[in-house]
Amino acid sequence: MTPVHFTFSSAFMLGLTGLTFHRTHLLSALLCLEGMMLSLFVALSLWALQLSSISFSASPLLLLAFSACEASAGLALLVATARTHGSDRMQSLNLLQC
Amino acid sequence: MSPFILATLLFALGLGTMITFASSHWLLAWMGLEINTLAILPLMAQHHHPRAIEATTKYFIAQATAAAMLLFASATNAWLTGQWDIQLMTHPLPVTLITLALALKMGLAPMHSWLPEVIQGVDFTTGLVLSTWQKLAPFVLLLQLQPTNSTLLLALGTASTLVGGWGGLNQTQLRKILAYSSIAHLGWMTIVLQFSPSLALLTLIVYFTMTFSAFLMFKLNNSTNLNSLAISWTKAPVATALAPLVLLSLGGLPPLTGFMSKWLILQELTKQDLMPLATLLALSALLSLYFYLRLAYSLTLTVSPNTLIGTTPWRHPTSHLTLLLSTSTVATVFLLPITPAIVTLFSLLGT
């Protein structure tokens, strides 16, 4: 395992842990998702740099574009949740529990 | 929703799945999954009420996490082995991570808890799309990964069938029951995936047919919980007479189509010398059969107190389009006799 591999893996795992265990606000879940996507951006761009591969060099930007779309969809859902449930707390998302 | 926007979203929904089918590179497969998720979100949230928004939010978080995990596993695979191909994955760590991510995307058992809540929050048509079309892309990716870690797949599949049976027992909401039935059927497919991929595909298609008729049947009766099933005979008597057959076909009783997939899977497991697992699966199908039977009971064998005028809505012409429902109901009930033809067709597709 190279140092770069270790770095982006631990960054991703930190984001995933935050998303899984810190469940108070929806905004913090979205931030954790964004952090995971950014660690993946680091991974892909460093892979393209290390191999100096021209055909792969567009992929980090594609990833960034998709993660921006995803983040904007998440923020739109945050606004919609705030309008229907009154807050962005995860505890208030309890209408559909079994 | 404007028809142009609806057409665009439906096109993107199909496009995402097709990109995932056609790709051999993990990044492209991930892009297809993302396009798919981003296209279904507005369709789920189009009726702006709290339950739909909540379901959309939960669906978004689960799918985004699964997609990020999938890409992380592929990046790990690239750093470890230096390639991005979907087939011929050699390192066990990325394969396990990808299997878990796809299980989260489909709603297999330890990662299933979002699925009933999401399907409960949306209407029947969107729920139908969620439990059929949205399963295709992850399932095909999982199919391309084979052969892989067999214990993990067996554990996921067994847990799914058991959880799908246990979870549905206590429910009175139809959409949640259908979601748990989806979990149980996906478990059957996951178990047979590594032994015979063509059989898994056959099970998937048979499940699609059956769940299509079940969703359309409940949509026709406009009933979302167990109580309102008891007056469905006043709305559509013939469909109500056929509905128990559809439900028992989902449960897998012999003269109906649903028995075909369960029969073949049990035979395949017996051939692989996995008798205890086959027994466990057959017993877990009994759990599912119980709640299908309860649905059939309240559909046909109960008569709710009603006024004389309340028993005649079936005389009025309805605007429901029932061609799809009748076609899929016939397929759900009568396909067992042509099992050899279907098996041959799918084994030709699989090669």
Query: What is the tens place of the pLDDT at every residue in B261-298?
Result: 999 999 999 999 989 999 999 999 999 999 999 999 98
- Where do the DSSP E strands lie in B6-126? none
Q: Is the pLDDT of residue B351 over 70?
A: no
Give the global pTM.
0.94
CATH at A33: 1.10.287.3510
Q: Is the pLDDT of residue A64 over 90?
A: yes
When pLDDT is cut at 50, 70 and 90, the band that residue B141 belongs to is very high
Question: How far is the alpha carbon of B351 from chain A, nearest alpha carbon, in Å?
Answer: 32
Q: Are B150 and B137 in contact (CB under 8 A)?
A: no
Q: In this complex, is the C-beta atom of B317 within 8 Å of any C-beta atom belonging to chain A?
A: no
Q: Is the pLDDT of residue A54 over 90?
A: no
Q: In the predicted model, what is the mean pLDDT of residues B9-20? A: 94
Which chain A residues contact residue B51 at CB under 8 A? 95-96
When pLDDT is cut at 50, 70 and 90, the band that residue B317 belongs to is confident
Considering only CB atoms, B68 lies closest to which of A9, A36, A69, namely: A36
Q: In the predicted model, what is the mean pLDDT of residues B83-90? A: 86
- When comparing pLDDT for A52 and B155, which is higher? B155
- pLDDT at residue B269 in the model: 93
Question: How far is the alpha carbon of B73 from chain A, nearest alpha carbon, in Å?
Answer: 10
- pLDDT at residue B350 in the model: 66
| Whole-number average pLDDT of chain A | 90
Q: In the predicted model, what is the mean pLDDT of residues A18-43? A: 93
**Residue B54 and residue A81: Cβ atoms within 8 Å?**
yes
Task: Select from B29, B4, B5 the least CA-distant residue to B17.
Answer: B29
**Sequence-distant contacts of B278-281: CB under 8 A, at least 24 apart:** B280/B158, B280/B162, B281/B158, B281/B161, B281/B188, B281/B191
Residues forming a β-bridge with A25: A89
Q: Which domain holds residue A83?
A: 3-94
* Per-residue model confidence as pLDDT tens digits over B161-175: 999 999 999 889 999
Q: Are B114 and B107 in contact (CB under 8 A)?
A: yes
Task: Select from B182, B166, B132, B177 the least CA-distant residue to B17.
Answer: B132
When pLDDT is cut at 50, 70 and 90, the band that residue B223 belongs to is confident
Q: In this complex, is the C-beta atom of B78 within 8 Å of any C-beta atom belonging to chain A?
A: yes
Q: Is the pLDDT of residue B310 over 90?
A: no
Q: Is the pLDDT of residue B238 over 70?
A: yes
The answer for residues whose C-beta is within 8 angstroms of residue B11's C-beta and 6 or more apart is: none
B233: left (phi over 0), alpha (psi -120 to 50) or beta: alpha
C-alpha pair distances (Å), B223 with each of B53, B54, B143:
21, 21, 36
Number of domains composing chain A: 1
Q: Is the pLDDT of residue B153 over 70?
A: yes
Q: In the predicted model, what is the mean pLDDT of residues A30-45? A: 94
Residues forming a β-bridge with A89: A25
Which chain A residues contact residue B37 at CB under 8 A? 70
Polymer length in residues for chain B: 351
Pick among A47, A77, A91 to test the B interface (most B CBs inside 10 A): A77
| Whole-number average pLDDT of chain B | 90
Question: How far is the alpha carbon of B192 from chain A, nearest alpha carbon, in Å?
Answer: 30
Q: Is the pLDDT of residue A74 over 70?
A: yes
* Per-residue model confidence as pLDDT tens digits over B30-85: 999 999 999 999 999 988 889 999 999 999 999 999 999 999 999 999 999 888 88
Q: In this complex, is the C-beta atom of B51 within 8 Å of any C-beta atom belonging to chain A?
A: yes
Q: Is the pLDDT of residue A15 over 90?
A: yes
Considering only CB atoms, A84 lies closest to which of B53, B65, B80, namely: B53
